[in-house]
Amino acid sequence: MRRLIIVVLLLVVAFLLRARWLPMVAYPLLAPPPQHLDEVTLIWVHSHDGRNFGGDGVVERTASLLRAYPRAGVIFTQGWSSRLVEIGVIPPPVDILRRALAEYQIPPERVTQIEVVGYQFWNEARAMDAYLSEHPQEQVILLTEEFGGRSHAIVLDAALSADNSRRVEILGLPDFRYSYHDWWKSRAGVKGVMVGYLYLIHTIFQPQPVQPIRRLSLEDFEKRIPDVPESGP
């Protein structure tokens, strides 16, 4: 009976103090906070799917940083290319980014896109490594999802040279619906933590793709569509 009372009391205390210890559950998902933000010369914006930017509020935060550091520019990379972009339904994300920043009086020439060979963030990091090797004066801040910060940091440490890795820091952007401080208050926040840990575990064991992903071209995709049999009279 005494043990049961102790257990119940501990559960009650844990529940009452949840706002203090539950944020620590998500702490391993976060990237270390930037230490050289005042030295930034490039703001790195990226897209995983060729449609959306990595992190909520990317445009607003980018515009804020560009205003704070007028000499800084924007570098854009993307992994997957969207079929909707390829067939002309929606514009490329770099064009969307330039137009959105133009509403904050940020000229489009401050946004530069570098080409990426491959479809995963590893390939984006390798492209950035090559770029930084040719531009040793640049100090980069990567904007990405808050709960994907640590995973991206692991990939960057593996993909970048030691010198270039020291010049790239990560700024995690919280989801509009939840953050590190209150993720347990919503179903979306709980799901975000679970997905973040799955991605982190996978990245720890495999930061680099084992083999390149071959994406079907539109022609190959059409060839795989079975012919519809003709209906009889």
Average pLDDT over residues 5-32: 70
| CA–CA dist 143, 149 (Å, integer) | 9
The structural domains of the chain, with segments of one domain joined by +, span 28-223
Region 50-61: mean pLDDT is 90
Residue 171 CB partners (closer than 8 Å, separation 6+): 31, 34, 37, 61, 141, 142, 143, 144
Using only C-alpha atoms, the chain has a radius of gyration, in whole angstroms, of 22
Question: What is 1-24 written as a DSSP string?
Answer: -HHHHHHHHHHHHHHHTHHHHHHH
pLDDT for the residue 142: 97
Q: Is the pLDDT of residue 39 over 80?
A: yes
Q: Between residues 9 and 160, which one has the greater pLDDT?
A: 160
**63-95 b/e with 16+ CB inside 10 Å = b?**
bebbeebeebbbbbbbbbbbeebeeeeeebbbe
The first and second tokens of residue 33, run together, are 């906070």
Judged against a pLDDT cut of 90, whether residue 22 lies above it is answered with no
* Tokens, residue 15: 């529940």
Residues β-bridged to residue 145: 173
Task: For residue 55, give the DSSP letter.
Answer: S
pLDDT (mean) for 101-118: 92
The phi, psi pair for 102, rounded to 5°, reads -60, -30
Measured distance CA(217)–CA(215) in Å, rounded: 6
Q: What is the largest CA-CA distance in the chain?
A: 83
Q: For the chain, report the end-to-end CA distance as a whole number of angstroms.
A: 81
Map tokens 């994300």 to a residue.
93
Q: Assess whether pLDDT exceeds 70 at residue 14.
A: no
178-202 per-position pLDDT tens digit = 998 999 999 999 999 999 999 999 9
pLDDT value at 12 more than 60:
no
Query: Given this model, what pLDDT does residue 19 score?
Result: 65
Q: For residues 203 and 183, what is the distance between their CA atoms, to the nearest angstrom?
A: 22
**In percent, how much of the chain has pLDDT > 90?**
62
- 100 has pLDDT over 50: yes
Instruction: Give the span between the Cα atoms of 40 and 173, in whole angstroms.
Output: 17
Q: Does 3.40.50 match the CATH number of domain 28-223? A: yes
Separation CA 196–CA 189 (nearest Å): 10
Question: What integer pLDDT is reported at residue 159 of this predicted model?
Answer: 95
Query: For residues 56 and 49, which has the higher predicted lDDT (pLDDT)?
Result: 56
Q: How confident is the model at residue 84 (pLDDT cuts 50, 70, 90)?
A: confident
Identify the band that residue 125 occupies on the pLDDT scale cut at 50, 70 and 90.
very high
